[in-house]
Amino acid sequence: MAASPSGKGPFATLADAVQRMSNFWNRVSEGLAVQTLWSQFFSEAHASYGLYQREIDWDALQQESRFRRLLKISRVLFWAMLMKLSPARRVFLLLVFLVLLCFTLNIRPFGIPRESEFLMAIGGLIFLLALELADRVTMKRDLEIAREIQRWLVPQTPPRVPGVDIAFLSRPANTVGGDYYDAFLLDGAPGVATPPRLLLVVADVAGKSVPAALLMATFQASLRTLASPSVPLIELVARMNDYACAHSLGGRRFTTAFFAEFDPATHVLSYIRAGHNPPVLRRRSGELERLDEGDLPMGIRPGTHFATSSKTLCPGDLLIIFSDGIVEAVNDRDEEFGDARLFSILKTVSAESATGTLRFLNTALADFTGTARQHDDMTWLVVQVEH
């Protein structure tokens, strides 16, 4: 058998072709399995359909026949997608559809061959796709910059506090999110022998993506400005609430938050829960306690009086603070993670460290959600009193 011009046999040439195809596929798919890609595509398609189907009046369609209902749904979805484009791109897309219609009906009003009509239509769709992709890339670049700025606003490493182990993790549903966490020491005034206190905060701004991220940034700036050793926790929260009310658009942009102040000397945890998910205190014995005393979210009513509660933590105890995106996380069957599942998992935690506990909890959450797309930010903050 004659060798190929390159000096390689046909099997070597075939192997090279297979290798090139494999490299191409890995580049396109980023090494993801087909099942993972399909689940990701289905999740994204479901989310996109949810965006467009808001335009449909489902109650009004109940009286229609199946055929008329399908026609009306198709028409509403088409207009919903069309109106997402700029006016110029809407007209361009309609012209492309007109060319496609002429091709389908074998009409040549432009005096060009039928094959050229088809190529013009396909080329027009590709060109429109390229314009939309260019906008998406530009927006993605801006969001990446916003994400970096948002990362600067939250701590990357926990503070070192003798006798206390701290770990945290936050994952936005989109590129940027509205969850906020913080942990820092409130040092005593110079010359005053006051032991430092640890301030712990987890907050969740109503909404997602850029609007929530902007409000989260103002929340962080306000907290860092107002927090000081001379300001009691109850006064700090009251001031934060007044500021939130002044910028909440009449209560539509409220913020749930959990504030806690821990004294490493006495192990007393003083806390205020402003509409946030009740954290869980896991005692060393395995007993679970819910810190459910609380008040309204911030930004609802100016002058709200927030009540302070307290718990005494013992060596080996774990405090788990989280945002609602944790318990509202869903799997491929649209089932929620839920409080009951979280409690069940917490009963099996070995409590070796805050970092180990956080890793255990996050792995259990990831195993539950799989590749399902999440619609809310997810944040953990875990504190353990060391033995």
Same domain, 73 and 135: no
Give the Cα-Cα-Cα angle 301, 207, 36 (nearest 5 degrees).
Answer: 155
| pLDDT value, residue 359 | 93
Task: Flag whether pLDDT at 224 surpasses 60.
Answer: yes
Phi/psi for 263 (5° steps) reads -100, 110
Is residue 73 assigned to a domain? Answer: yes
Residue type, 150: Q
Q: How far apart are the first and last CA of the chain?
A: 77
Mean pLDDT (whole number) for 9-20: 76
| Domain containing residue 30 | 24-79
Residue 374 in tokens: 């999440």
Residue 286 in tokens: 């395995």
- Among 385, 386, 280, 368, smallest CA distance to 329 is for 368
| pLDDT value, residue 315 | 92
Instruction: Say if CB 377 and CB 204 are below 8 A apart.
Output: yes
Same domain, 180 and 292: yes
Is residue 7 assigned to a domain? Answer: no
| pLDDT value, residue 228 | 87
Helices (H), the chain: 10-29, 34-52, 58-61, 66-82, 87-104, 114-153, 209-226, 233-246, 324-327, 338-346, 354-369
Is residue 223 assigned to a domain? Answer: yes
- Integer Cα distance of 376 and 325 in angstroms: 5
Provide the angle, in degrees to the nearest 10, between the axes of the packed helices 114-153 and 209-226: 10
Mean pLDDT (whole number) for 81-93: 88
Same domain, 274 and 229: yes
Task: Flag whether pLDDT at 111 surpasses 90.
Answer: no
271-302: pLDDT as tens digits: 999 999 999 999 998 899 999 998 889 988 88
* Lowest pLDDT segment from 40-49, 69-78, 163-172, 308-317: 40-49
Same domain, 142 and 256: no
Q: What is the percent of the chain with per-residue pLDDT over 70, rounded to a whole number?
A: 91
Task: Flag whether pLDDT at 207 surpasses 80.
Answer: no
Task: Flag whether pLDDT at 6 surpasses 60.
Answer: no
Is residue 173 assigned to a domain? Answer: yes
User: What predicted TM-score, i.e. pTM, was given to this entire model?
Assistant: 0.73
Mean pLDDT (whole number) for 119-136: 89
Residue type, 88: A
| pLDDT value, residue 209 | 73
- Integer Cα distance of 46 and 276 in angstroms: 29
- Integer Cα distance of 142 and 213 in angstroms: 13
Residue 270 in tokens: 């003083």
Q: How many domains does the chain have?
A: 3
- Last residue within a domain, chosen from 34, 61, 79: 79
Is residue 6 assigned to a domain? Answer: no
Task: Flag whether pLDDT at 303 surpasses 50.
Answer: yes
Mean pLDDT (whole number) for 249-258: 80
pLDDT band at 1 (very low <50, low <70, confident <90, very high): very low
| pLDDT value, residue 251 | 59
- Integer Cα distance of 158 and 383 in angstroms: 10
- Last residue within a domain, chosen from 95, 129, 153: 153
- Last residue within a domain, chosen from 153, 179, 203: 153
- Integer Cα distance of 228 and 184 in angstroms: 11
Instruction: Say if CB 379 and CB 328 are below 8 A apart.
Output: no
